[in-house]
Amino acid sequence: MYIHNLNPTLLSLGPLEIRWYGLMYVLGFFLSIAWLYYLRKKGKLELNKEQIWDFAFWLMVGVLIGSRVFEVFWQPSYYLSNPFNFLKFWEGGMSFHGGFVGIVVAAYIYCKKHRFNFWKLADAMSIPALFALALGRIANFINGELVGRPFQGKWCVLFKGYDGCRHPSTLYAAGKRFIVTGWLFLLTFWKSFKPGFIFLNFVFWEGLGRFLVDFYREDVLWFKLTIGQWFSLIMVIVALYLFVKFYKEDWRKIFK
């Protein structure tokens, strides 16, 4: 058993606070920049340096807007009663599915505007995006939020404000995302795949992983599943459909 007593604030300087949650997003942003620079150096990305920063900015805006807007599905009364609450990023509450929709929409608009191949850029961003999401789940654990369901095993956690020992479901989610990140990294440098294949691996495995991990997460159930599980099922179904329709040969490459 572990008693959770972690401080969500890394550093306080008078009225200024540096919180782990915000730090993870900043770190994810700069890791994405570094990854895109690396792919550009390897000849796998056609964007110049200015375009990389521009693209990353669009993605950051997309993920912030989308992740906050989708939070209304989880806490409708909190956000609809006071729209200003949407701007309180420092309090956490960033929906993965909303961030995913936001980042995809932002990337699509950017690619349409500048005539870039959306699927190639989606492939390129899959690894840093998922790695950043894994860091975000660690920040959730530090915040003591999104706790798991009651559990009495050796690694259960006592969270402040919650009754009984619980699953550290955010750490399960982080571990799953680190594993999938490794898989995407392998695909990136293993063989040549049709644009979009790596991105759809991100969509499929993240959706499937979230669906499974949510069985250990304390959340409101809708028809016996969480809202996150229903959204994740959509991700899995869409990815499977596109795999079957457009990427059969790419899967054959893996098993040859």
Q: Report percent pLDDT > 90 for the chain.
A: 61
pLDDT band at 10 (very low <50, low <70, confident <90, very high): confident
Q: Give yes or no for residue 88 having a pLDDT over 70.
A: no
- On whether residue 256 sits in a domain, the answer given is no
Give 144-161 pLDDT, tens digit per residue.
988 999 999 999 999 999
- On whether residue 255 sits in a domain, the answer given is no
* CA dihedral sign of residues 70, 76, 80, 81: negative
Compute the distance between CA of residue 172 and CA of residue 165 in angstroms, rounded to an integer. 16
State the chain's mean pLDDT as an integer. 89
- On whether residue 200 sits in a domain, the answer given is yes
pLDDT band at 255 (very low <50, low <70, confident <90, very high): confident
- On whether residue 235 sits in a domain, the answer given is yes
For 11, the domain range is: 2-250
Q: Say if CB 206 and CB 180 are below 8 A apart.
A: yes
- On whether residue 36 sits in a domain, the answer given is yes
Total structural domains within the chain = 1
Give 54-73 pLDDT, tens digit per residue.
998 898 888 888 877 777 66
Q: Give yes or no for residue 26 having a pLDDT over 70.
A: yes
More confident residue, 65 or 76: 65
Q: Say if CB 185 and CB 30 are below 8 A apart.
A: no
pTM of the full predicted structure? Answer: 0.88
